[in-house]
């Protein structure tokens, strides 16, 4: 038997509250309750990474988490990555390097790469490929995605020295 639960959490830096079925998935709450459709649902089984969001700063598949598990936590979706309507440096690099084709995988890839760059601002290629290994893309062949992330890593490297 299912019932409704109240979920209070931080969504893209704003305190929010929702009353949702206790069996609702986080991906569905983000998309349907909050209208943030940048988070995609591909496989619904934790295999494609299209639904990747940041949960307390860590990338997770939101199709594998119940909405009620977000209670008290901090969720960031692709809509929270840009600031004041401007693309982040990483999003710009994705565009510049041609890493966006059909775009279905792009929000998940950007989230995974954002998490990587927060933890490790100057990752090497192997670290980049490992970080995005849970995000499937059937269009790009990944090289342009890696190049986009390397572009930001290079900017970070220059800032450091
Ligand atoms: S939709 Fe969540 S991993 Fe595929
Ligand atoms: S750009 Fe189409 S799936 Fe990645």
Same domain membership, residue 47 and residue 97 = no
Locate 45 and state its tokens: 């089984």
Q: How many CB atoms lie within 10 A of CB 77?
A: 23
For residue 40, which atom of ligand 1 is closest to its CA? 1
Same domain membership, residue 76 and residue 20 = yes
- Domain holding 57, by residue range, is 4-80
Same domain membership, residue 39 and residue 8 = yes
Among residues 80, 108, 143, which one ends one of the domains? Answer: 80
| Count: domains in the chain | 2
DSSP state of 40: -
Ligand nearest 94 Cα, by number? 2
Query: 102 CB less than 6 Å from ligand 2?
Result: yes
Same domain membership, residue 94 and residue 76 = no
- Of the candidates 118, 110, 108, the residue with the CA atom closest to the CA atom of residue 153: 118
Residue 21, strand partner residues: 4
Per-position DSSP letters for 110-150, written without gaps between them: HHHHHHHHHH-SS--HHHHHHHTTT---SSS-SHHHHHHHH
Backbone dihedral region for residue 15 (phi beyond 0: left; psi -120 to 50: alpha; all else: beta): beta
Query: 104 CB less than 6 Å from ligand 2?
Result: yes
Chain segment 14-24, per-residue pLDDT in tens:
999 999 999 99
Show the ligand 1 pocket: residues with CB < 6 angstroms. Answer: 41-44, 46-51, 61, 63
Chain segment 30-72, per-residue pLDDT in tens:
999 999 999 999 999 999 999 999 999 999 999 999 999 999 9
């Amino acid at each position: 038997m299912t019932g409704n639960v109240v979920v209070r959490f931080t969504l893209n830096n704003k305190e929010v509250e929702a009353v949702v079925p206790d069996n609702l998935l986080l991906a569905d709450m983000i998309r349907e309750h909050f209208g943030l459709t940048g988070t995609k649902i591909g496989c619904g089984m934790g295999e494609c990474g299209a639904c990747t969001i940041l949960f307390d700063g860590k990338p997770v598949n939101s199709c594998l988490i119940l909405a009620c598990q977000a209670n008290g936590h901090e969720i960031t979706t692709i809509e929270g990555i840009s600031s004041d309507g401007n693309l982040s440096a990483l999003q710009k690099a994705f565009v510049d390097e041609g890493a966006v084709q059909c775009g279905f995988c792009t929000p998940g890839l950007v989230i995974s790469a954002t998490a990587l760059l927060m933890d490790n601002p100057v990752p090497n290629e192997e670290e980049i490929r490992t970080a995005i290994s849970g995000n499937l893309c059937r269009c790009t062949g990944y090289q342009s995605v890696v190049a986009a992330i390397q572009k930001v890593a290079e900017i970070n490297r220059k800032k450091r020295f």
